[in-house]
Amino acid sequence: MKKVVLRLGLTLILACLLALATVPYWVSAVGIPSELKVFPGMELQLDLNPPFRIQDQTGLEVTGLFDTENLGTSVYRVNLFGWLPLTEVVVDVVPLVRVFPGGQSIGVLLSSDGLMIADLGVVLDATGVERFPARDAGIKPGDVLLSIEGHPLRRPEQVSQLINALAEEKKVLELVVRRNDHTLRLEIEPVLSGPLGQQMATYLLGIYLEDPAAGVGTMSFYDRESGRFGALGHTVTDSRGRPLTIAKGSIVEATIDGIRYGSRGTPGEKVGFFHGEQDAMGIIDSNTSFGIFGSLAELPQSAFAEPVPVAFAHQVRLGPAEIYTVLQGNRIERFAVEIIKVVNQTRPGEKGMIVEVTDERLLRETGGIIQGMSGSPILQNGMLVGAITHVFVNNPTKGYGSFAEWMVYEAGLGQVQEIPAKQSVSREGFFLHVEKDFNAAVLRAVQTTLRRGVETKMEKRTLVLGVIGSDVHAVGNKILEISFKEAGFTVVNLGVLVSQKEFVEAAVETNADAIMVSSLYGHGEIDVRGLREALIEAGIGDILLYIGGYLVVGSQDWSEVETKFRQLGFDRVYPPSTLPEDFIPTLKGDLGM
């Protein structure tokens, strides 16, 4: 009898523990949010059926609408059967924010004058000795190079021309750089490098420069009262995908005079030109994961007579919406889209929604979402709900969007209330941790199962191909694409000037089986450092990774080069003389084909 009672007791205890451990799943299944933001006077009601009940902070049951008359934060408890606490709902009543939607094409300048130094590098002199002229001169990444020997700089190609013209006569050159708000005069000794391939020996400083024109994008919104603006919807990165610190950048008016049509594996783009720097529309003071933000010098022409409300993330719904962008000249046009997925976000996060283009004219003229549309405002039911951020490389009719709520907060608009500390510490601490670990384990299992299923059922594999970094060698890239397609692969060719971030995103979006990296200008080691780690962080750390080309500067023993790149995470490393037919059989073997 005692054993039966003991078993029953243990069973009840285990059942209670299981029930408590699955609380987060009950909450998710019922659709109970952890936090809601509303405007003053906005109707808010949670439709919960018994046995779920909601109580306010005084213990009174809420059976109708929440109190949203006054600004501030209130905490409500959700109970099971009226006594078992499940979770809490935080309701923030915040001021209504109205902005003018954008849609204007803009050019982004990283610096109003000079050239930004993205990184420092090594220079091999004529004897093969490694030299670090920029580092030894006291230059740091992030500095803005203003002039060389009194010659002001506007374009990256000026630097090489000036150095090689001046270094023949002067051993030491004077550089003027800006670091934060300070102007520094530094002396540097250019190094005569050894010849590389067919290139002649040249004088180098050991610096990597960013083009001051970061590209064409779209303004997302602006506030007429404060002059604050937001644009792009994503961070501005350097050629290796790292976020840039923009100290004195600006946006200028851009005119679109052509469209490169987008297709599967080859994103399209807007072709345009910038107006002069003297016509700056505004100054950039922030470069974040939600875009660039700053203050306008002059208000742009708007497609709207009045500002529109900014929707909260939880107000965005699946269904029809519209985007505003420029396809020709400076004329802002409206196009139909469909929001096909909304991510439940109660805290700022990228890629809050997936948008599909449904407008027949936009599909006909662009193929869908193209480069240069980043930042195009998304409106739904008369409210600004988000901005276009990225295109699906393998399906340009679809792309990601960020919620407008997070963007206006980044711009310094609206009032973000402090959320009081929650009382159910054990649930939020322990059970939330259990939930995350469980989700991660399930996700890994599903990914493994899917990958195995693909490997057993499909012989045609997907390769992501591209030339990394600031390299613009395009001929070999096209040869590889043709060779891989003839060998039966599906190829997603990113082209030249590809960043690490673009390789990772393309591999995730296309469920690729391998990434093929080319580098032909000698700086591959710098460009690929951290790529494997980025793939691991994205959840595809086991993807096959190949690299080939002129990977280092100067003549080095190939076995040492191969070892170096294998340590960087590459599965196969090939010298520049390798032909496609030499390694495609190996690739098929590695993929189990």
How do residues 338-352 score in pLDDT, each as one tens digit? 999 998 876 777 788
Contacts made by residues 137-142, CB under 8 angstroms, sequence distance 24+: 137/175, 137/186, 137/187, 137/188, 137/189, 138/184, 138/186, 139/175, 139/177, 139/186, 139/188, 139/207, 140/179, 141/117, 142/116, 142/117, 142/179, 142/245, 142/247
Place of tokens 């990165």: 237
Stretch among 11-25, 375-389, 573-587 having the lowest mean pLDDT: 11-25
Residue 99 has pLDDT above 90, yes or no: yes
Tell me, what's the pLDDT at 431? 29
Average pLDDT over residues 279-295: 88
Residue 237 has pLDDT above 90, yes or no: no
| 143 tagged catalytic | no
Tell me, what's the pLDDT at 415? 53
Alpha-carbon span 402 to 414, nearest angstrom: 17
pLDDT in tens, 121-173: 888 888 888 889 999 999 988 788 889 999 888 777 788 888 888 888 888 99
Stretch among 231-240, 542-551, 567-576 having the lowest mean pLDDT: 231-240
* Element containing residue 207 per DSSP (H, E): strand 207-210
Residue 90 has pLDDT above 80, yes or no: no
The larger pLDDT score, comparing residue 102 to residue 266, is at 102
Residue 19 has pLDDT above 60, yes or no: no
| 359 tagged catalytic | yes
Q: Where do the domains of the chain lie?
A: 99-107+213-410, 113-210, 458-590
| 374 tagged catalytic | yes
Tell me, what's the pLDDT at 579? 86
Q: What is the CATH number of domain 99-107+213-410?
A: 2.40.10.120
Which residue is catalytic, options 359, 471, 513, 527? 359
Average pLDDT over residues 89-117: 82
Tell me, what's the pLDDT at 571? 94
Tell me, what's the pLDDT at 408? 92
Residue 426 has pLDDT above 60, yes or no: no
Query: With bands split at pLDDT 50, 70 and 90, how would you rate the model's confidence at 377?
Result: very high
Superfamily of domain 458-590: Cobalamin-binding domain (3.40.50.280)
Average pLDDT over residues 299-314: 90
Average pLDDT over residues 301-330: 93
Query: With bands split at pLDDT 50, 70 and 90, how would you rate the model's confidence at 450?
Result: very low
Pairing of strands 280-288, 269-274: unpaired
Which residue is catalytic, options 374, 376, 470, 518? 374
Average pLDDT over residues 41-52: 61
The larger pLDDT score, comparing residue 196 to residue 119, is at 119
Tell me, what's the pLDDT at 427? 28
Tell me, what's the pLDDT at 432? 33
Tell me whether the CATH fold assigned to 99-107+213-410 matches the one assigned to 458-590. Answer: no
Tell me, what's the pLDDT at 289? 85
Contacts of 390 (CB under 8 A, 6+ apart): 234, 351, 374, 399, 400, 505
Average pLDDT over residues 481-487: 87
Contact between 492 and 506 (Cβ < 8 Å): yes
Average pLDDT over residues 95-118: 84
Which residue is catalytic, options 234, 390, 499, 527? 234
Instruction: Report the interhelical angle of 432-457 vs 23-30 (nearest 10°).
Output: 70
Cα 291 to Cα 210, 246, 397, 400, distances in angstroms: 18, 12, 22, 13
- In this prediction the pTM is 0.59
Query: With bands split at pLDDT 50, 70 and 90, how would you rate the model's confidence at 40?
Result: low
Stretch among 216-230, 361-375, 474-488 having the lowest mean pLDDT: 474-488
Tell me, what's the pLDDT at 61? 67
In 3D, which of 327, 200, 307, 190 has the Cα closest to residue 256?
Answer: 327
Tell me, what's the pLDDT at 161? 87
113-210 belongs to which CATH class?
mainly beta
Contacts made by residues 335-340, CB under 8 angstroms, sequence distance 24+: 335/359, 335/361, 335/362, 336/362, 337/378, 339/378, 339/380, 339/385, 339/401, 340/398
Residue 191 has pLDDT above 60, yes or no: yes
Query: With bands split at pLDDT 50, 70 and 90, how would you rate the model's confidence at 483?
Result: confident
